[in-house]
Amino acid sequence: MKTAIIILSDPKNGGEEAFGRAFNGLASAYDFKQKGDDVTILFQGTGTRWPAELSRSKNPAHELFEAVKDKIAGVSCGCADAFGATEDAEKSGCDLVKDNPVPNTGGMASLQRLRSEGYTVMTF
């Protein structure tokens, strides 16, 4: 079983709802990882702001973020650029994913590639 978890929620806007979505995405990745399944995490859209937030030790999901950090494929480059998250994402140790060459962007994460590789895509 192969699962791609895409975190889209915005830490700046959503309060508990946005945190809940990010937390549940990470918790799902943790569950898949613990069971030995192939899982990957991508931050896309305004979700590219999460790695900076989750890297803070005072964030309630920090330990969970650290536990699945090895499963993070990265952040969508074009999205990070659009939402001002590029520098913070890189400081958090996340790669910029550019395998979908969308015009007028630095490239974005390709969900089509994930599907073609057999991943079930889940969004949070």
What is the pLDDT confidence band of residue 14, given thresholds at 50, 70 and 90? low
Q: State the average pLDDT over residues 63-70.
A: 98
Is pLDDT at 93 greater than 80 in this prediction? yes
Of the pLDDT bands very low, low, confident and very high (cuts 50, 70, 90), residue 15 is confident
Which pTM value belongs to this model? Answer: 0.94
Domain coverage including residue 24: 2-123
Q: Is residue 8 within 8 Å of 44, Cβ to Cβ?
A: yes
Q: Which of the four pLDDT bands, split at 50, 70 and 90, describes residue 59? A: very high
Question: For the domain that residue 17 is a member of, what is the CATH number?
Answer: 3.40.1260.10
- Report the number of distinct structural domains present in the chain: 1
| Residue type at position 57 | S
Dihedral angle of Cα 2, 98, 62, 25, to the nearest 10 degrees: -40
pLDDT the model gives residue 105: 93
